[in-house]
Amino acid sequence: MAIKDKVSSFGKFLSGMVMPNIGAFIAWGFLTALFIETGWLPNEQFASITGPMLSYLIPVLIAAQGGFLTGGDRGRIVGAIAVIGCIAGAPDTTMLMGAMVMGPFAGWVIKMFDKLMEGKTPAGFEMLIDNFSVGIIGMLLAMLGYVLVGPVMTAILAVLMGGVTILVQYGLMPLLAIFIEPAKVLFLNNALNHGIFTPIGIAQAEETGRSIMYMLEANPGPGLGVLLAYCFFCKDAKTRQSAPGAVIIHFFGGIHEIYFPYVLMNPKVIVAPIVGNMCAIAWFSFTGTGLTSAASPGSIIAFLSMTPPEFLITNIIGVAIAAGVSFVIAVPLVRSMAAADLDAASEQMREMKGTSEAAVISDTQGGKIVFACDAGMGSSAMGATRFRNRIKAERPDLTVEHSSVDTVPADAAIVVCQRVLSERARKSAPTAQIVTIDNFLDDPALDALYKALTELASAHGLKGDAVAAPALKEEPAKDKPAPVLSVTADDIQVGCASLPREDAIRASGELLVEKGCVDTDYIDAMVERDKLTSVYMGMGVAIPHGTNEAKDAVRRTGVVLQQYPEGVDFDGEKAYLLFGIAGKGNEHLEVLAAVCKAIEDEAVLEKMKTTDDVDWIVSVLNQAK
C-alpha cells in the first residue's frame, strides 16, 4: 500500500473514532459558547456541565468507539473502562489522545483473548468467562492507563502544544496552510483535522474557551475563492455553469470535496487556497480569535455557530480574507487555462477518493463484505458475484454477499454501494467501512479494495488454503429449484440503433414482455429502478431490471440481450450490451451469476459488443449457466 494510502487509512481510522461522536463535541461547544463567563448567555450552573463533558464523556465515547472498531461490542466496553485509568492518571489533561490510543488497543486485546479462548471454554461457563474477562482485562488496562498511557499522552500533548506556542510566538502559524490545502485535495484532511488539530484544540479551548486549531482546516473561505473564480472567469461554459452550485454546496453545506475537481483540472490553482488560508491564519493569529469546538462539517453555518460572540465580526473578516485572496490569485490562473475538463478532473477525484475509501482500516480476517443496492436484487448481486470470484483465491476467509442498502447485515465489515446510497448505507451499517463506487464492475475503488484485501492477506498469511472459506457460495441453493434459463436466438437482438437511455430500457422491457416473461407494468418499474440508481454496471454493460415492488409482474424467469454497437449513454458512460432480466422469486440471482460468468472473459465481452453472430452469443450464455 502506498504511503499516501497508509496515511489516508490512518486518518480514516482516527476519523472513524471521532466522527460518530461529533454531536458530543457540538453539544460541548454550544454549552461553552453560550454559558461560560464570556459566552453569549453567561450562566454558572449550565457552564458547570462543560467540565465533566470534556473530561469524561467525550474521551469515554471516543475510546468506546475505538474499541468497537477493533474489538466489536466487547471491545467497546473494555475501551471505555480502560480510558478511565488514563483520565485518572492525568487529571489535568483532557485525555482525547489517550482515548484514541487506549480505545483501539483495548479492543485489540479483548479480540486476541477471544481468539485464544476459541474452542477452549468449558460448556456452561461461557457467560462467566465472557463477563469476567471483560472486567479483568478492563481493570488491568485501566491500571496500565493510569501508570503509563495517561502520563505519556500528557507529555506528547505538551510537546505538541509547545510546538504550537513556538509557531505562534514566531509568527509561523500561517505556514501550516502549505500542508493543509494540498492534504485536503488528496483526501488527507481527516488525518490532520481529527488526528492532530482537534486534540490540541480541545486542550486550548479548555483553558481559554476557544482555539485557533479548529479554524485551520474548516475555514470555507479558501475553497470559496477558487469556486468564485471559476464562476466568473472560466472560459469553458460547462465548468462555469457548474461552479455556482458548487459554491452553495461548499459554503453552506460544508462539503469541501466539491471544489477539489476544480483544483485537480488545473493543479497550479492550489496556490490560491494555500495563500488564502495563510492570510486568514495570519489574521486569526493576530486577533487572537478561535472557535469553541470543532466546526464539522466545514460550512459557514457551523463555523460561525462555534464562534464566541466577541469574535463574530473578526471571524467573518477572516473567512472573507481567505476567500478574497484565494479569488484574486485564482482568477489569472483560471483565465489562462487553455481548456477545462471538469469531467476528467471529477473522474480523477473519484479514483483518488475511491482508492482512499477502499484502503481497509481494520482487520478483515474472516469478515463479511456486502454489496448493497437499492433493492438488493440486480446490481449488488452481480457486483458481489464478480468480486467474489475475483477475491476467493487470495482471500478464502472472506464472505461476499449482497443485500438491500437498508437491510445490510449487522456483522458486515465492509459495505460496497453506489455513491448516491452512501448515507443510507451508513445508517444501515454504522460500524462498517463504507466503500462508495460509481459502478459495480470496473470501478477504481473496487480495484483498490481488492489490492488492500490481498495485501492484508499477504501480511497475515491468509493466502491460498491457509484459512478455510466459511461460505463462498453464490447463494444457498437448499430448498430452491434450479431456474429454467434457456437462451435462444429470439432472446437476442444485435446491431440495434442507438437510443436515448430510457427508450433503450423500455425496449429491453418490451422484449421481455414479448417473450412472456413479464407483464407490461414491469417496463415502468425498470425505468423507475434506473432513476433510483443507475442500472449501468460498468465495462459497457447495463442490466435493466425492475424494482422489488414489481416482482408480482414477473411471470417467469428470463433474460434478453440487446446489442448497441454505437452505445447508449448512461451519464457519460456508454453501454453497448443491455441485459434485460426478470426472475421469479430469487431466481434472478442465478441469472445474474450466469451473465456475470459469461462476460468474465474481457475478450469474450469485447467480441459480444460488436459481433453479429447470434448463435455464438447464445452458445456463450448457455454455457455460462
Q: How far, in Å, CA of 400 to CA of 534, rounded?
A: 22
CATH topology of domain 489-623: Mannitol-specific EII; Chain A (3.40.930)
Counts of helices then strands in the chain (DSSP H, E): 27, 9
What sign results for the dihedral spanned by CA atoms 434, 436, 440, 445? Answer: negative
Q: What angle do CA 530, 533, 534 make, to 5 degrees?
A: 60
Burial group, residue 291, by CB count within 10 angstroms (0-12, 13-18, 19+): buried
Helix or strand (DSSP H, E) at 12: helix 3-18
Q: How far, in Å, CA of 303 to CA of 288, rounded?
A: 16
> With contact defined as beta carbons under 8 Å apart, do 443 and 358 qualify?
no
Which percentage of the chain shows pLDDT scores above 90?
A: 31
- Give the pLDDT of residue 104: 92
Catalytic pick among 231, 234, 373, 417: 373
Residue 250 annotated to the active site: no
- Give the pLDDT of residue 470: 44
Average pLDDT of 407-418? 84
Q: Which residues contact 259 (CB under 8 A, 6 or more apart)?
A: 223, 226, 227, 246, 250
For the chain, the structural domain boundaries read: 1-8+171-359, 49-170, 360-460, 489-623
Cell 485572496 belongs to 325
Q: How far, in Å, CA of 340 to CA of 475, rounded?
A: 47
Sheet with 573-582, side-by-side order of all strands: 492-493, 558-570, 573-582, 541-542, 536-538
Q: Which of 125-129, 205-209, 266-270, 322-326 has the lowest mean pLDDT?
A: 205-209
Cell readout for 147 is 501508570
Burial group, residue 376, by CB count within 10 angstroms (0-12, 13-18, 19+): buried
> Residue type at 268?
K
26-57 residue pLDDT tens = 787 778 778 877 677 889 899 899 889 888 99
Cell 501550516 belongs to 176
Q: How far, in Å, CA of 373 to CA of 405, rounded?
A: 5
Given a cut of 90, is residue 322 above it in pLDDT?
yes
Cell readout for 28 is 460541548
- Give the pLDDT of residue 513: 93
> Residue type at 590?
E
Q: How far, in Å, CA of 569 to CA of 485, rounded?
A: 29
Bridge-based pairing state of the strands 414-418 and 368-373: parallel
Q: What are the CA-CA distances from residue 350 to residues 59, 258, 437, 446 (Å)?
A: 34, 11, 8, 12
Catalytic pick among 256, 545, 588, 596: 545
CATH topology of domain 360-460: Rossmann fold (3.40.50)
Three-state DSSP at 78 gives helix
Given a cut of 50, is residue 480 above it in pLDDT?
no
The greatest distance separating any two alpha carbons of the chain, rounded to the nearest whole angstrom, comes to 84
> With contact defined as beta carbons under 8 Å apart, do 86 and 150 qualify?
yes
179-191 residue pLDDT tens = 888 877 765 665 5
- Give the pLDDT of residue 266: 84
Q: How far, in Å, CA of 611 to CA of 390, rounded?
A: 27
Bridge-based pairing state of the strands 492-493 and 558-570: parallel
Residues in the chain: 625
Helix or strand (DSSP H, E) at 566: strand 558-570
Three-state DSSP at 369 gives strand
- Give the pLDDT of residue 189: 62
Q: How far, in Å, CA of 64 to CA of 100, rounded?
A: 9
361-390 residue pLDDT tens = 555 777 889 998 876 566 777 788 888 888
* Bond from prior residue into 297 cis (ω within 30 degrees of 0): yes
Residue 373 annotated to the active site: yes
- Give the pLDDT of residue 330: 95
Q: Which residues contact 127 (CB under 8 A, 6 or more apart)?
A: none
What is the secondary structure of 413-452 as a DSSP string? SEEEEEGGGHHHHHHH-TTSEEEEES-SSS-HHHHHHHHH
Q: Which of 66-80, 146-160, 293-307, 445-459 has the lowest mean pLDDT?
A: 445-459
> With contact defined as beta carbons under 8 Å apart, do 558 and 522 qualify?
no
Given a cut of 90, is residue 315 above it in pLDDT?
yes
| Buried residues in 394-431 as b, exposed as e (16+ CB within 10 A) | bbbbbbbbbbbbeebeeebbbbbbbeebbebbbebbeb
> With contact defined as beta carbons under 8 Å apart, do 307 and 259 qualify?
no
Q: How far, in Å, CA of 580 to CA of 526, rounded?
A: 9
Q: How far, in Å, CA of 232 to CA of 239, rounded?
A: 10
In this prediction, residue 157 has a pLDDT band, given cuts at 50, 70 and 90, of confident
Q: How far, in Å, CA of 402 to CA of 159, rounded?
A: 48
pTM over 0.75, yes/no: no
Cell readout for 575 is 453501454
94-116 residue pLDDT tens = 788 889 899 999 999 998 998 88
Burial group, residue 565, by CB count within 10 angstroms (0-12, 13-18, 19+): middle
In this prediction, residue 479 has a pLDDT band, given cuts at 50, 70 and 90, of very low
Cell readout for 250 is 461548499
